[in-house]
Structure 1
Amino acid sequence: MEVYLKAYYRMNLGDDMFVKCIAERYPEVTFRVYADRRYLAAFEGIRNIKAYPCLYAKFDRASEILGLHPFVDRLLLNHSDTVVYIGGSVFIEPKDGTVFPSLTSQGDMYYIGCNFGPYRTERYLKYVYESLRSASDVCFRDSYSYGLFKELPQARMAPDVLFGYPSYPQKKKGSGVAFSVIDPSARSGLEISAEEYYDEVAEAIRSCASEKKRVALFSFCSYEGDDSAIEKIVSRINGTSVDIFSYNGDISGFLNRLNDCECIVATRFHAMVIGWMLSKKVLPVVYSAKQTNVINDIGFTGAVRNLTKKGTRSLSELLKKYLSEPVGFDVGQLSAEAENQFCVTDRLFIK
């Protein structure tokens, strides 16, 4: 069977783990991938991924200008047995209000691991709702998103795919604090500016260093500005010693570096999930409702720094208290439940 696999191909750790997870789960299926080869390092050696380079981007742009379905999407769809879209924030309302035709109107479509939003208008919600009527399966990762579409018979919910990722390193205690950071300038709805965010993270790093804690900064996605964010933070810490790890497609190596730490200050959504799976102390730094929705769903009661609300305590204050507490969070049941993200495709692909 040949499957057109849509995903976010920008060398983002979480999304690359999604793709690796599904490709290795179904080794007899050929997954067709349309992406820039620069961002496919994570999939080298995975024999059932067949990459199509971005040679036809100009045709896609021309199609979009004309309000037509993207050229390569149509091409791969017409030459594949079915389509799977694995990803998190796959239903974000475009800022300019533009809406393009959905693949769901063109054939079988299976959505795995998604959430809905952010969105601004009921028009967009209705558009996605009507588009998903023709999908074969839609598995959301949070109850808020599922609640918006629960009347659709093909809508389901299960914990995030990475709660069920099969290849985490062996858990160990670790030492020091890992900071996963983002460039907040592209995010909306924050009660803090990008410069204030960098200042706050820098202050927390200096505080950790004063307590003789080893500090490491992690870039999950250079394309989205994580590397740039690290540079701005480092310029604020006055020579404080930190380790820097930038994800380059080596999933296992990057996970091993995270595993070396005791605590993860997680601005990235999947830094939060990975931290829990590695049995680390996790301090989520919320920049989006998608994080809050999952935190609420799983019943996490630890400290949270919410950048979307005024008056919440700073990272330095939260960390001082948090690091001294025996914080544990059992994700065993979540890991088992996350397998349900694939229960429909299991029936389709496993004979």
Structure 2
Amino acid sequence: MQKRVMIYAYTNFNLGDDLFIKILCERYPDTQFALYAPREYKYSFRTYENISIYSSDNFFVRLLNYGIRKVGIEHSTSSIIAKNCDAVVRIGGSVFMQKSNWAGMPKYKQNIKEKPFYVLGANFGPFSDDQYYKDHYELFKKYTDICFRDTYSYKLFEDLPNVRKADDIVFQLNNQQPDLSNDHILISVIKPSFRKNLMGYDDVYYERIKDITVQFAKKGYKVTLMSFCEKEGDQEAVEAILHKVPIEIQESVNKYYYKFNIEEALDIVASSACVVATRFHAMILGWVFNKPVFPIAYSEKMNNVMNDIDFQGSYINLKEIGNLNPVEVYESMETNFVDISVQAKNAENHFKKLDGYLLGYSP
């Protein structure tokens, strides 16, 4: 009998998180998945017959959720959908960050019924409150399987028997994209101030990205400024940088805004000659497609993964970007290649336990 699985994921049209959903659906074509997400996700995954999108932005659904909150019930539409599924998969990267308004673990998260619950591809933190860690430690005891994507997160919970580690899920992505001409440099950008710890860095970051863009353009390259997630300010960042680019350089600069078309976005990365990656998954995808990657690390999750794979190339932490010489980025095209064949194989281990449940394999 076909199993139904609820997917909990970050559904804000972020390319990295949408790739998680894509990989999950493609790995288990005979499983029917349910995703509570904005209605436009029906367009993003229109070619997948094994996923049903339940619109989170439907007026009546929002009205129902409002009513539920008003009467003090902690359940929501998503939890109602999950009740009608055989299992739950929470797939995503930074899904355990402590928010500034955190005030204890909600009861509905603690109320894990007799239903398999898998956490795949996550990292833990950042967090500032020991109670946040302790509450999750107790919560994780109730889960079926937790597979983190970095050593730091794994070490926090390694004494729990259901906790494992594997390389980021996207490492296993099929890299057989069309053989496209490597005629452009891809620069993935963010709006630093979207993150509280990077308030005040927008101007220096935009200025330096502009300088990097000019450096490559003067060397004869086309440059593509890419937004991975409009809702997190990437698109706004692209426009701000474009306004800084000198007029004589502008015809060498393009922009690409991801929203619905995953395959098109992957083609953009695959056709590049080099990736300048502020986005975490721009870094991973560059390595997947065997491109030299210059990381601009905006969070510890990027540094943690670079440490895990023993990355020896040049990079910069975003808070230090004012010290970056654009020539160093250009020269990294010769030095910043990484062989991720080991990581690609290891990344499949995220699904080791879920394979056992959905496919009947012995984990």
TM-score range for the pair, normalised by the shorter chain length: over 0.9
Equivalent of 1:333, from 332, 336, 342?
A: 342
Deviation at residue 104 of structure 1 after TM alignment? 5.5
1:1-351 matches, cutoff 5 A? 1-54=3-56, 55=58, 56-61=61-66, 63=68, 68-99=73-104, 100-101=106-107, 103=109, 105-107=111-113, 108-166=116-174, 168-170=176-178, 174-190=182-198, 193-239=201-247, 240-241=250-251, 242-308=253-319, 310=320, 313-314=323-324, 316-323=326-333, 325-351=334-360
% identical aligned pairs: 34
TM-score by length of 2: 0.90
User: Residues 13 and 82 from structure 1, CA distance in 2 versus in 1: closer, same or farther, beyond 3 angstroms?
Assistant: same
Contact 2:34 2:53 in 1 (8 A): yes
TM-score by length of 1: 0.93
Residues 144-167 of structure 1 show CA distances to partners (whole Å, capped at 9, x for unaligned) of 000001111100000000001236
Alpha-carbon distance in structure 2 between the residues aligned to 1:311 and 1:34? 38
Alpha-carbon distance in structure 2 between the residues aligned to 1:318 and 1:102? 50
User: Residues 43 and 220 from structure 1, CA distance in 2 versus in 1: closer, same or farther, beyond 3 angstroms?
Assistant: same
User: Residues 71 and 273 from structure 1, CA distance in 2 versus in 1: closer, same or farther, beyond 3 angstroms?
Assistant: same
Contact 1:41 1:248 in 2 (8 A): no
User: Residues 152 and 199 from structure 1, CA distance in 2 versus in 1: closer, same or farther, beyond 3 angstroms?
Assistant: same
Alpha-carbon distance in structure 2 between the residues aligned to 1:67 and 1:332? 50
Whichever residue aligns with residue 82 of structure 2, its letter is: L
Q: Tell me, what secondary structure is at the counterpart of 2:344?
A: helix
Whichever residue aligns with residue 169 of structure 1, its letter is: Q
Contact 1:68 1:101 in 2 (8 A): no
Residues 113-168 of structure 1 show CA distances to partners (whole Å, capped at 9, x for unaligned) of 00001111101111111111100000000000000011111000000000012365
C-alpha RMSD of matched pairs (Å):
2.0
Q: Tell me, what secondary structure is at the counterpart of 2:40?
A: helix
Alpha-carbon distance in structure 1 between the residues aligned to 2:321 and 2:186? 24
Alpha-carbon distance in structure 1 between the residues aligned to 2:71 and 2:232? 28
Alpha-carbon distance in structure 2 between the residues aligned to 1:6 and 1:87? 8
Alpha-carbon distance in structure 1 between the residues aligned to 2:230 and 2:151? 30
| Structure 2 unaligned blocks of 5 or more | none
Residues 283-315 of structure 1 show CA distances to partners (whole Å, capped at 9, x for unaligned) of 01111011110010011111111014x487415
Residues 193-236 of structure 1 show CA distances to partners (whole Å, capped at 9, x for unaligned) of 11111111011111211222211111111121111110000000
Whichever residue aligns with residue 202 of structure 2, its letter is: A
Alpha-carbon distance in structure 2 between the residues aligned to 1:94 and 1:197? 24
Alpha-carbon distance in structure 2 between the residues aligned to 1:267 and 1:87? 18
